[in-house]
Structure 1
Amino acid sequence: MRSPLCPANAMTDPIRLSKRLIELVGCSRREAELYIEGGWVTVDGTVVEEPQFKVLDEKVELLPDADLSKADPVTLLLNLPVAANPDTALQLISPASLSSEHREGTRPLKGHFARLDSALPLQSGAGGLLVFTQDWRTLRKLTDDAGKLEQEYVVEVSGEIAPHGLNRMNQGQLYKGQSLAPVKASWQSENRLRLAVKNPAPGLIANLCASVGLTIISMKRLRIGGVSLRKMDPGHWRYLAAGEKF
């Protein structure tokens, strides 16, 4: 186990954290940057991830299980509250909003919240599962296979459904001159529909409901392909787990 690392001599001028780490452990500049950016270095007990951070006589430590491996790109899954604006959804993601059900074994780093791209936007007015990723392979999968990935929505509705309404939604139909794609529609409860659809066009679900006499009260996406929200409160997020696949 490594011991706390402290400067051998008192410093008179602040220096970069990376330079201090090089002096303390004898690593290269690149190794120092990887240690720091990987969240393995603390200054007075607080993790600092910026190699350019200036230190003077603070206590600098390299954590015992420090790993030089470059961090893999991450994918974050957010449960967007129904009333929230998807355009500002990234503002909801921070270490503090990581789901308590999914904290074990995780090390949220500042680098995890940078350079995030999103794909497969929600239906207008919907909340639920949003995907943000740093991984180009995941982004490519969501983009190239959008037509193959089933999205599951739960929709709370009011009104009296038209005769054979579910069959009409399942088969697809014309509504106000627009051809509506078929979906897999079923009742989840007395006023709640479950809809599964691949790559829904903007407004599709609202138009489908309106075409059979139903008014949408709220709408939430629960799943994209094989990835679901799991146990996660609105406004919270989790990491895509190893082995999870869209």
Structure 2
Amino acid sequence: MAEMGMCSRREADEWVENGWVKVNGVVAVMGQLVVPSDRIEIDRAAQDRQEQQVTILLHKPMGYVSGQAEDGHEPAVVLINPQTRWNHDTSKTHFNFSQLKGLAPCGRLDIDSVGLLVLTQDGRVARQIIGEDSTMDKEYLVRVTYGDREVDIQSVFPLDQLARLRHGLELDGEPLQPAQVDWQNPEQLRFVLTEGKKRQIRRMCEQVGLHVVGLKRIRIGKVVLGNLPVGQWRYLGANEQF
């Protein structure tokens, strides 16, 4: 069911345990083998549970970690409460604290990075963004310095090093996937990546002599950060898709 995109693996286990799955008209059991010709039916109760799951878009500030608290720093999920909901959120969904249960970040933003962070209860969304087979692109604005130069870096930064940023670097002994990298202005680069290794952009820049002084994620797939203020959040809209 997870491979068909119907749910996450964890949800699939829960549905089977609750008796919400039938194979060829018979209630399924854990560990049951299924072949392509089998007919899988899902109880309405499972669908209702899934429809209640929320996906939240947060403009993460600096100083918060994406996932579990670490080194005394709070996780970004502590910012999700009625007071920090963006007052221009058009979603009709009403907030309640049960929505925080199982709400997990889809990918990370470093403690010193800001921008779009997606948190979801929906395993389908998580798989779209960070699943092993995901190729969803993420867009970042990255302010850099070069040696002792903080302005007009574009004019002195070698073109061959820009080409290496686009394709040709390795991290942790593995070649990186091609990336889109272009100058936005003389001090800022725009990166579009389809993978998300730990501190990837910062480490890529280090390899070509650049130092990152500001990093902001502005898009994941088709969903953009837009005008969402720092430290505030909104629900993923009913008509929005990654």
Fold match by TM threshold 0.5: yes
Instruction: Describe the shift of the 1:245–1:93 C-alpha distance in structure 2 as closer, same or farther (beyond 3 A).
Output: same
Structure 1: how far apart are the matches of 2:227 and 2:124? Answer: 26
Contact 1:175 1:211 in 2 (8 A): no
Provide structure 2 residue ranges, at least 5 long, that are not aligned to the other structure: 1-47, 68-74, 147-152
Structure 1: how far apart are the matches of 2:169 and 2:225? Answer: 30
Corresponding position of 1:132 = 119
Larger radius of gyration: 1
- Secondary structure at the aligned position of 1:91 is classed as helix
Corresponding position of 1:219 = 215
Structure-1-length-normalised TM-score: 0.64
Corresponding position of 1:91 = 78
Corresponding position of 1:82 = 62
CA deviations 1:61-91 (Å, max 9, x no partner) are xxxxxxxx87621101111013333241111
Q: How does 1:39-188 map to 2 (within 5 A)?
A: 72-87=52-67, 88-102=75-89, 105-123=92-110, 125-144=112-131, 147-159=134-146, 160=153, 162-164=157-159, 165-174=161-170, 179-188=175-184
Q: What is the CA distance between 1:172 and its match in structure 2?
A: 2.2
In the alignment, residue 194 of structure 2 is paired with which amino acid? K
Contact 2:64 2:111 in 1 (8 A): no
Q: Cα RMSD over matched residues?
A: 2.5
In the alignment, residue 97 of structure 2 is paired with which amino acid? K
CA deviations 1:162-197 (Å, max 9, x no partner) are 411322211223589764443100111221111000
Q: How many residues of Structure 1 are paired with residues of Structure 2 in the alignment?
A: 178
Provide structure 1 residue ranges, at least 5 long, that are not aligned to the other structure: 1-68
Structure-2-length-normalised TM-score: 0.65
Higher relative contact order (CA 8 A, sep 6+): 2
Q: Percent identity?
A: 31
In the alignment, residue 216 of structure 2 is paired with which amino acid? K
- Show structure 1 runs of 4+ deviating over 6 A: 175-178
- Secondary structure at the aligned position of 1:101 is classed as coil
Contact 2:218 2:225 in 1 (8 A): yes
